[in-house]
């Protein structure tokens, strides 16, 4: 059974306006406007606590915004939660990996839960794509954090999402792994998917980004095309905005 992801085919993978999120008296996001087109990679930079994870969780429908509206993958953020979930892949801080299941069993579980084909060939192909096919039968408990992250990515890509939300995707990865994940992003973008990669480590993700946004103090402090910024200027703006946002 293949999930039907055809209609609608939106120009904007993400289009949100005036999104605000508060936890009690603490406002984490304040009037955030953001638009990401299909086939575009957005590097979302920001210091720790700037609201990157909260924003990604709102886009993935894990959190509901306190105010504001928007569409993700062409669907209304407030009304079409299930449709969004079927089209968005979130690589979060947690890997969603069951430690006592093998890599293949983990994929089988999540594929079945998502209503995707869970036959041996599909699972093996997904594991091969993240270079874990050799350890398919080993328990996740024995994996490094980088391997768990790759297994999480295999789970996401198995669902053929339209939008990838990557929260600190480089955490726990070595240089080879970091390069590999950038290749995954480029490949995904080449197929028309949109990517938002949130990171606090300046420099990472910029090589594949079409646009750069800086989140500071819960607001978008900068949103520009990557080509229009040189690295030094971007570094200065990032330093400035994180100081102001702190």
Query: By the criterion CB under 8 A, which residues form the site for other proteins?
Result: 60-62, 82-83, 85-86, 90, 92-101, 105, 108-110, 112-115, 139, 148
Q: How far is the CB of 245 from other proteins (least distance, A)?
A: 26
The pairs formed by 73-81 with CB atoms below 8 angstroms and a separation of 24 or more are 73/10, 73/13, 73/162, 73/163, 74/8, 74/9, 74/10, 74/12, 75/8, 77/16
Name the residue nearer to other proteins (CB basis): 85 or 204.
85
How many Å is the Cα radius of gyration of the chain? 18
Q: How far is the CB of 87 from other proteins (least distance, A)?
A: 9
Cis, peptide link before residue 8, omega less than 30° from 0: yes
Q: How far is the CB of 95 from other proteins (least distance, A)?
A: 5
Return the structure tokens found at 112: 């079945």
Q: Is 217 left (phi over 0), alpha (psi -120 to 50) or beta?
A: left
Return the structure tokens found at 31: 């009037």
Residue reference for tokens 């953001």: 34
Name the residue nearer to other proteins (CB basis): 63 or 186.
63
Residue reference for tokens 């990032």: 238
Task: Write out the H or E segment, with its range, that includes residue 156.
Answer: helix 145-158
Residue 27's DSSP bridge partners are: 22
Return the structure tokens found at 154: 């295999």
Separation of CA 139 from chain center: 25
Residue 30 CB partners (closer than 8 Å, separation 6+): 20, 217, 218, 219
Name the residue nearer to other proteins (CB basis): 90 or 184.
90
Q: How far is the CB of 4 from other proteins (least distance, A)?
A: 12
Q: How far is the CB of 216 from other proteins (least distance, A)?
A: 26
Name the residue nearer to other proteins (CB basis): 153 or 212.
153
Q: How far is the CB of 64 from other proteins (least distance, A)?
A: 9
Name the residue nearer to other proteins (CB basis): 63 or 129.
63
Q: How far is the CB of 230 from other proteins (least distance, A)?
A: 38
């Amino acid at each position: 059974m293949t999930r039907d992801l055809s209609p609608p085919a939106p120009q904007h993978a993400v289009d949100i306006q005036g999104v605000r999120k508060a936890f009690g008296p603490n406002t984490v996001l304040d009037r955030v406007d953001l638009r990401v087109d299909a086939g575009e990679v957005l590097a979302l930079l920001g210091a720790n606590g700037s609201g990157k994870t909260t924003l990604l969780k709102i886009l993935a429908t894990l959190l509901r915004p306190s105010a504001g509206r928007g569409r993700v993958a062409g669907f209304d953020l407030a009304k079409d939660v299930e449709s969004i979930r079927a089209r968005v892949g979130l690589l979060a801080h947690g890997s969603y990996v069951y430690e006592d299941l093998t890599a293949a069993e983990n994929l089988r579980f999540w594929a079945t839960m998502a209503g995707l084909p869970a036959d041996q060939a599909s699972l093996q192909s997904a594991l091969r794509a993240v270079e874990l096919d050799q350890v398919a039968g080993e328990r996740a408990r024995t994996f490094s954090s980088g391997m768990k992250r790759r297994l999480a990515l295999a789970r996401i890509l198995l669902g053929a999402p339209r939008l990838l939300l990557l929260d600190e995707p480089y955490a726990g990865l070595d240089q080879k792994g970091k390069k590999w994940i950038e290749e995954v992003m480029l490949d995904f973008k080449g197929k028309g998917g949109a990517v938002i990669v949130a990171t606090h480590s300046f420099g990472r993700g910029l090589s594949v980004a079409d646009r750069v946004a800086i989140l500071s103090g819960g607001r978008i402090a900068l949103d520009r095309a990557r080509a229009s910024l040189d690295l030094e200027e971007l570094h200065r703006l990032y330093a400035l905005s994180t100081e102001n946002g702190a």
